[in-house]
Amino acid sequence: MDSKQQVANNRELSSDWWESISQSEKESYERGLKDWKEGRVQSHDDVKPVYQKYLQN
């Protein structure tokens, strides 16, 4: 099983936190998971240099 499937399965198995979040949070999570499964994400290492100029003191 690959890591994407493990994340999807974990959500299904961990109903304790899933039942405690709002519907809009659930929808946001599902959108993010769909983006991740479809490869529409960027790594932290790729994004960090872009925003570094805003984080410097």
Q: Domain limits of the chain?
A: 3-55
Q: What pLDDT is stored for residue 33 in this prediction? A: 94
Cα 30 to chain centroid distance, Å, stands at 8
Tell me the two tokens of residue 6.
């493990």
Using DSSP's 3-state secondary structure scheme, residue 57 falls into coil
Using DSSP's 3-state secondary structure scheme, residue 21 falls into coil
pLDDT digits (tens, 9 = 90+) for 7-54: 777 666 655 788 889 999 999 999 999 999 999 999 999 999 999 988
- Any alpha helices (H) in the chain, and if so which ranges? 3-13, 15-18, 23-37, 44-55
Q: What pLDDT is stored for residue 13 in this prediction? A: 61
5 has a pLDDT exceeding 80: no
Q: What does pTM read for this prediction?
A: 0.56
